[in-house]
Each structure stands twice: as structure tokens, then as C-alpha cells.
Amino acid sequence: MSGLTHLDEQGQARMVEVGGKEITRREAVARGEVSMRPETLEMILAGKVSKGEVFGVARVAGIIAAKKTPDLIPLCHPLALTGVDVRFRSDRERSRVEIEAKARTTGQTGVEMEALTAVSTAALAIYDMCKAVDREMVIGAIRLVHKSGGKSGVFQRAGEEIWS
């Protein structure tokens, strides 16, 4: 067929069988960003957003989203996550918040979707927290930066290192 693992011989969507795969330690790191007006970024950094502490709420939203990924993405396997971290960097020069999520498990399938879902939801939470003052925010550049574990080995996006 097309080489896509989520399609059967007839081209129908299916959940991939992972029962025969080796149990390994797996990790994925994803990143994204929310661009905004400089005044909005300054409000966030000064703790002056009326809904509360933006990064704290967005961090918890991202962690919860990672845990709920199979409820949102139909063909994802439910995973026993061993850890999820969501971190933020402010970039005053470009007037944006950068988001990085790291998801980990020991299992038979990877955690890329969990990391990507955490970043996406953290970005949406930032938007929700700040939309009263800036409806022109843009969520973007959501991407996988790193993954390890499993048969396919390590993926590292060129030009991007994991935040230390």
C-alpha cells in the first residue's frame, strides 16, 4: 500500500498492532511557539494577566493533554507515561513564547504524539489566558525535535538541540 502504518490492505484506518514490539525506554521532545504583541509578552512576564499565572496554567494544561492524547487522537495507543515536562522561553526580540514538551515512557510504542499534544495544548492555554488583551496571537511552528527508543532509533531535527 502506501507505507503508512495506520492503513490496512484496503486503505482503511486502523490502530497499529504493537504487541510484538520490544519494550524500550522511549522519549520525545516537541516544540512550538505563540507569537504576540510585545505588550502581551511583557504582561505575561510581569505576572499582570488577569486570569492568573500564564506559564503555570499552560504547563498543567500541557501535562494533562499529554495524558489524554489517545482520547483526542483516534489511533493513538493509551500509554503509561513515566514523565512529562513542559517548559517555556520568552523571546522578547521576536515577541513570542517558545514551548518545549518532553514525554517519556517505557513501552512498545513512542510518545511523539503525547509531546506534540502537550505543546499544542500549552499554546492554546496561553492563547486563552491572554486573548482578552491580544486576539492576534499566532500559534505555530509545532514540530518534533527529538525522539529516541524503539526500532527506528534516534531522530534529531537538524539545527535544534534539546533545552538544558
Length of the chain: 164
Q: How far is CA 26 from CA 72, 81, 135, 138, 149, in A?
A: 21, 10, 37, 31, 4
- Three-class SS state of 105: strand
Annotate 73-104 with DSSP letters as a single string. STTPPP--EEEEEEEEEEETTTTEEEEEEEEE
- The total of other beta-carbon atoms located within 10 Å of residue 75's CB is 12
Per DSSP, helices labelled H in 10-53 are: 38-46
| Kind of pairing between the strands at 138-148 and 24-35 | antiparallel
> Among all residues, which ones are annotated catalytic?
128
DSSP state of 98: E
- Three-class SS state of 81: strand
